[in-house]
Chains A and B, each alone.
Chain A
Amino acid sequence: MGFFKQKKHQPVQEKVIREDKMPPHRSTASLEKNIQYLQQELRNSTDLKIRLLPGNKQALVYLDDITDPDKIQRYIFEPLLKTEGDITKIKDREESKDLNEAVSSLLEGKALYLIEGQSTCYFFNVQQNVTRAITEPMNEKVIKGSHDGFNEDIKQNINLIRRRIQHRSLTIKKQTVGDYTESEIALIYVEGVVNPDVVKELETRVKNISNDALLSAGAFSEYIEDRTYSIFPQFLSTERPDKTVAQLMEGRIAILFANNPTCLIAPVTFFAFYQSPDDYNTRWLVATYIRLIRLFSFILAITLPSFYIAVVGFHFEVIPEDLISPVLGAIRDIAYPPIIEAVMMVVVIELIRESGIRLPSPIGSTIGIVGGLVIGDAIVTAGLVSNLMVIVIALTSLASFVVPSNEMSDSLRLLTFPLIILSSILGFIGIAFGLLMVLIHLCRMESLGLSYFTPIQFRDLKDTVIRVPQFLMKRRPEQLQSPRPYKSNELSDDDGKK
Chain B
Amino acid sequence: MELLKKPMRARELIAMIFMLIGIKGGDTTPSLFADEAQNALWIAPIVSFVVILPPFITLMYLLKKYQTRNLAELLHHLLGTKLGTIIGIFLFVGAFISMAADMRNIVEEINYLYFPNSPTIIIYLIFIVICLFVANKGLESIGSLAWAVLPVIVLTIISVMFVDFQATVWQRIFPILGGGASIVIRDGFSLSSVFLEFFLLTIAYQAFHDTKQFRIGMYTGSILSVLLIVLFYMIYTMVFDYNTVDNIAYLYQESTEIVPLGHFFTNISTFFMVGWLLSNFLRFTIFLYIICWLYGALFQIKRFEGLLMPISFLAMILSMIPPNFITNEMIVRKTSFHWISPIYLCFPFLLLAASLWRERRKL
Contacts and interface: CB of A to CB of B under 8 A. Distances in A.
A437 B285 CA distance: 13
B112 interface: no
A440 B281 contact: no
Given A436-B130, A436-B278, A449-B4, A428 B270 contact: yes
Contacts of A433: 126, 130, 281
Nearest to A444: B141
Contacts of A318: 267, 270-271
Interface in A390-449: 426-429, 431-433, 435-437, 439-440, 442-444, 446, 448-449
B137 A451 contact: no
Contacts of A321: 266
A174 interface: no
A197 interface: yes
Interface residues of A, number: 37
Contacts of B281: 432-433, 436
A315 interface: yes
Is chain B's interface secondary structure helix, strand, loop, or mixed overall?
Answer: helix
A432 B270 contact: no
Nearest to A317: B267
Contact of A428 (B2, B114, B134, B145): B114
B363 interface: no
A456 B145 CA distance: 11
B266 A437 contact: no
A481 B4 contact: yes
A427 B148 CA distance: 23
B264 A320 contact: yes
A439 B115 contact: no
Contacts of B24: none
Contacts of A317: 267, 270
A303 to B, nearest CB: 9
A201 interface: yes
B144 A432 contact: no
A440 B2 contact: no
Contacts of B2: 446, 449
A426 B126 CA distance: 9
B144 A431 contact: no
Contact of B147 (A437, A449, A455): A455
B266 A320 contact: yes
Interface in B267-295: 267, 270-271, 273-274, 277-278, 281-282
B278 A453 contact: no
Given A439-B145, A440-B134, A440-B141, A198 B3 contact: yes
Given A443-B148, A481-B4, A435 B278 contact: yes
Interface of A: 197-198, 201, 226, 314-315, 317-322, 426-429, 431-433, 435-437, 439-440, 442-444, 446, 448-451, 453-456, 481
| Leading 9 A-B pairs by shortest Cβ distance | A449-B3, A443-B144, A454-B144, A432-B277, A318-B270, A317-B267, A433-B130, A315-B270, A440-B145
5 contacts: A318-B270, A432-B274, A432-B278, A449-B1, A453-B144
